[in-house]
Amino acid sequence: MLDLEFIQANLYTFAQQLVDNLIPLLVAAIAGGVVGLERESHNRPAGLRTHVLVCVGSALIMKVSLSMYDIVVATGFGNGDPGRIAAQVVSGIGFLGAGTIMREGATIRGLTTAASLWVVSAMGLAVGAGLYMQTFVAVVLVMLTLKTLTEVENRFFDHGAYRSLIVQVTDTPGQLGVVASTCGRWGCTVKNVAMRSGAFPGTIEIRFTVKPQGRNVDMTGLIADLMSREGVISVTEEDI
C-alpha cells in the first residue's frame, strides 16, 4: 500500500509539473501564431514559424529564469535575479528584427514586422511569468494595430497612397520607358525604381513605387494596362 501511495504521489507531482510547464508554452505558441499568421498573410520575411519560435523561446527563457531564482532561494547559494536572463531577450531579439528590415531606394520595409517580433518576445516573457491576461490583451491590441491602423494610414495620411509594383519584362531596350509612360497616363508618379535580373533567363524585374495623383485611381486598371504592353510578362502589387 505504501508503494502504491508513493507511486500515486509521484505521478501526481509529475502531472502537475507537466501541466505547469506545458500550458505556458502552448499559450505562447498560440499567441505568437496569431500574430505570425497576420504577417504570413502579407508574405513578410518573418511569418508564422518565426513568430511562434520567438514567443515559445521567450516563454521558455522566462520559465528558466524563474526556476533558477527558486533554486537559489531554496538552496541559499548564489544571487537570484529572475529578470537577469529574461532581460537579454529584449536586447537579443534585435538581431532577428534587423534581418527583416530592408531598404529599397528611399523606401524602408520591414519595420512593422521587426516591431511585431519584439512585441511577440515580450508576450513570451509574460506567458512564462504566468501573466496570461496581460498576454491576451497584448494579442488583441497587436492584431487591432496590424489589421485596422493600416486603413487609418491609407485614409488620413499621404504615404498611404503609395503602392509598390513588381513588373517582369523581357530584356529588350525601352521597357522601363514603356512602364513609366503607362503609369504616367494613369496619373501615377513613379519613384524608387530598382532593376535586377528576372526569375527567368532573358527577363528583367522592375520594382518601383507609384503614387496616384488622385485617390480614385484604378490600380486594377493600371495593372491590366501594363499587362497589355508588349514585353510585359507579369505585374504584382505589394503592400508597403
Span between the terminal Cα atoms of the chain, in Å:
69
Q: What is the mean pLDDT of residues 119-140?
A: 88
pTM score of the predicted model? 0.58
pLDDT band at 6 (very low <50, low <70, confident <90, very high): low
What pLDDT was estimated at residue 167? 92
Structural domains of the chain in order of their starting residue, each with its CATH number: 2-156 (no CATH), 160-238 (3.30.70.260)
Q: Which residues contact 63 (CB under 8 A, 6 or more apart)?
A: 21, 24, 128
- Identify the sign of the CA torsion 103, 107, 109, 112: positive
| Long-range interactions of 40-43: CB distance < 8 A, separation 24+ | 42/239, 43/238
Tell me the H-state helices in 42-189: 48-75, 83-92, 94-100, 111-128, 132-156, 175-185
Q: Name the more confident of 108 and 53.
A: 53
Give the 3-state secondary structure of residue 15: helix
> pLDDT digits over 223-239, tens only?
899 999 989 999 988 76
84 HSE (CA, 13 A, CB side): 8
The whole-number pLDDT of residue 161 equals 62
Asked if residue 202 has pLDDT above 70, the reply is yes
Asked whether the CA dihedral 75, 79, 81, 86 is positive or negative, the reply is: negative
User: Is the distance from CB of 225 to CB of 182 less than 8 angstroms?
Assistant: yes
pLDDT at 7: 66
The answer, yes or no, to whether residue 104 has pLDDT greater than 60, is: no
- For the chain, percent of residues with pLDDT exceeding 90: 7
Span 11-44, pLDDT tens digits: 667 677 667 778 888 888 998 888 888 887 766 7
pLDDT for residue 189 is more than 80? yes
